[in-house]
């Protein structure tokens, strides 16, 4: 996802806790992180599809991610590029930032914010 590294750096600079919540299994998640050059230690918590009974669009993965960070879901921002992920995050009670890399803005309309790239996200989205 274009701008992911820069976005993660911005979050770190602001002292935000970060979790990776993916429906993929652990092996696929590790391969994906290696491919994009992000070590698992980038995140305070990692939740995979193996860690929950119900995968997206159910809210379980985001609820568990919030718990692992010591936060309430309503204190969390979900960053997603998929309709099922936005639905999952909203059902969990999180605010959602959609990126139109996989779906149109119209399809991602349930999100609180929608941008074409993580490079376009203003600081205000991270400061609430």
**Model confidence pLDDT, tens digit, residues 52-109:** 999 999 999 999 999 999 999 999 999 999 999 999 999 999 999 999 999 999 999 9
Cα gap 88→119, rounded to integer Å: 24
> Is the model's pLDDT at 28 over the cut of 80?
yes
Compute and round to an integer the Cα radius of gyration of the chain. Answer: 13
8 neighbors 42 (Cβ within 8 angstroms): yes
Q: Is 79 exposed, middle or buried (0-12, 13-18, 19+ CB in 10 A)?
A: buried
Predicted TM-score (pTM) of the model is 0.94
Q: How confident is the model at residue 79, as a pLDDT? A: 98
% of the chain residues with pLDDT over 70 = 100
Residue 1 has pLDDT above 90, yes or no: no
State the total domains in the chain: 1
* Cα distance from N-terminal residue to C-terminal residue, the chain: 24
Q: How many CB atoms lie within 10 A of CB 74?
A: 10
How far is C-alpha 114 from the geometric centre of its chain's CA atoms? 13
Q: Is the pLDDT of residue 2 over 90?
A: no
Q: Which long-range contacts (CB under 8 A, 24 or more apart) does 100-109 make?
A: 101/1, 101/2, 107/83, 108/80, 108/81, 108/83
Tell me the percentage of the chain whose pLDDT exceeds 90.
96
Element (H, E) at 9: helix 4-13
Looking at residue 45, its pLDDT comes to 98
30 pLDDT band, cuts 50/70/90, is: very high
Residue 33 is part of a domain; what is its CATH number? 3.40.50.1000
């Amino acid at each position: 996802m274009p701008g992911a590294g820069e976005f993660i750096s911005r979050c770190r600079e602001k002292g935000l806790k970060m979790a990776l919540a993916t429906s993929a299994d652990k092996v696929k998640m590790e391969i994906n992180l290696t491919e994009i050059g992000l070590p698992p230690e980038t995140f305070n918590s990692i939740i995979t599809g193996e860690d929950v009974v119900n995968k997206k669009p159910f809210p379980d993965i985001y609820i568990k991610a919030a718990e692992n960070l010591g936060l309430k879901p309503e204190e969390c921002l979900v960053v997603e590029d998929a309709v099922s992920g936005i639905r999952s995050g909203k059902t969990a009670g999180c605010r959602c930032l959609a990126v139109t890399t996989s779906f149109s803005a119209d399809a991602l309309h349930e999100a609180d914010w929608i941008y074409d790239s993580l490079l376009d996200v203003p600081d205000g989205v991270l400061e609430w």
